[in-house]
Amino acid sequence: MSLFAIRDYRHLFGAQVIALFGTGLATVALGLLAYDLAGPRAGVVLGTALTVKMVMYVVIAPLAAAYVDRLPRRTFLFVLDVVRGAVVLALPLVTEVWQIYVLIGLLQASSAAFTPTFQAVIPDIVTDEAQYTRALSASQVASTMESLLSPVLAAVALTFMSFDRLFLGTSAGFLISALLVLSTRIPDARPSAHTKAWDKAAAGIRTFVRTPRLRGVMALNLVVAAAGSIVVVNTVNYVRDELGGSQSDVAWTLAAAGTGTLLAALVLPRILDRAAARTVMTTGAGVLVGGTAAAVTLSAAGVANWTATAIVWSAIGIGMALVITPTGKVLRASVDRNAIPAAFAAQFSLSHLAWLITYPVAGWLGTSAGFTVTWSVLAVLAGTGAVAALILWPRHEDRGTSTAPVAGGSATSVPAATTPATAVPAPRPTDRSTLSKAA
């Protein structure tokens, strides 16, 4: 708890948590809005809207990470929150589908710029190395809890209000987040005069391409996206049309996947103390492949019941946690300490690139060809990604040392098997200008 004694971090973390839950509630409400406007074609609308989101994340996030040291960061974060609040406030007023796409583009462009800016600010506020580790962990826990609690909160809210009221609450949350950002004292970074912004944006991606275990992570991103798209895109139509459920039932079904994620998160720390990250992550990939296959069986056999759906959705949530949670550990074990920020920015962009592939499949194909065909395609993509990960990520990298090419530096030998389960941050110098460059 000493971490939260740091006033600026406490306010900034509060802003992140509120914004996370706001985004989660908006996602649930967006699915219901799509169903209200398009009915059976809601999958197309939601799939397209989420595809727009992924385009923004893939394009804007690495550029924001590259240029963030040239902007007044507190003002920038404040403006991004205000823009998101205004966009969400406008969503319940739309009457045409194209208006959703425009507003979602603005909303997700702001979110894509917010995340790398927030990550770059943390080391300037939390300068103690041990506390910095806890700050990273707290951020990851917040993201995990959001995936569980947002659908639950939405389900509770929908029992006594219409879904358009969720947008009002979300907008208020973004405005509170903006005020918390404004109350912090975030130092502006000193830009590097010797590094081109595009080189910074591409450095992490080059590292992924050159490093075997990170190529495996890229393949695992596809597995997560293929299985996750079934939950994110198709739940609303499946619950409303196949199961005959209500708006609240949609949220509770999404919460089943979040429950699986939470259960896995509770046991993973001890597992990662004993098992290699590759073993845990490829096991998670196997669970996700099995989950997508089970979803195909449910649809093909016409076994549309609540119990079976909850079990499959929970299994997908467990598999996603098994793959995603150890990723930070793998990144830190694979690159030179000075390349860690670039590696995280690259993973953020590349993981969303995988979703950019699977969201249109789930949305567009799901509407035109039905759930059985669509989920079969996604199951094939998940299986392909799982097999590719096993091939691209050599088993011996979890037992010995890894000579991983790093961005802007020479190969560095990093012990892989001895990397602790807790994320280890890059040691940071005490000089403030160097801190800003490292961020």
Q: The domain spanning residue 12 has which CATH number?
A: 1.20.1250.20
What's the DSSP call for residue 6? S
Q: How many domains does the chain have?
A: 1
Asked if residue 371 belongs to a domain, the reply is yes
Asked if residue 347 belongs to a domain, the reply is yes
- Distance between CA atoms of 381 and 50, rounded to whole angstroms? 18
Q: Kindly report the pTM of this predicted structure.
A: 0.73
Asked if residue 88 belongs to a domain, the reply is yes
- Distance between CA atoms of 220 and 360, rounded to whole angstroms? 19
pLDDT tens for the chain, 439 residues long, are 677 888 888 898 888 888 888 877 887 788 778 878 888 777 788 778 878 888 888 888 777 777 777 778 889 999 999 999 999 888 888 888 888 888 888 888 888 888 778 877 877 788 776 676 567 656 766 765 665 566 667 767 777 777 778 888 888 889 999 999 999 888 776 655 545 656 666 777 888 888 899 999 999 999 999 999 999 888 888 998 888 888 788 888 888 888 888 788 778 878 888 888 899 999 999 999 999 999 999 888 877 788 999 999 999 999 998 998 888 778 878 877 667 667 777 787 788 889 889 988 998 898 888 999 999 999 999 999 999 999 999 887 664 333 333 333 333 333 333 333 333 344 444 443 333 333 3
Asked if residue 57 belongs to a domain, the reply is yes
Asked if residue 25 belongs to a domain, the reply is yes
Amino acid making up residue 88: V
CA angle 294, 222, 111 (to 5 degrees): 115
For 364, the domain range is 2-419
Asked if residue 330 belongs to a domain, the reply is yes
Which residues neighbour 40 within 8 Å (Cβ) at sequence distance 6 or greater? 237, 241, 367
Asked if residue 424 belongs to a domain, the reply is no
Asked if residue 435 belongs to a domain, the reply is no
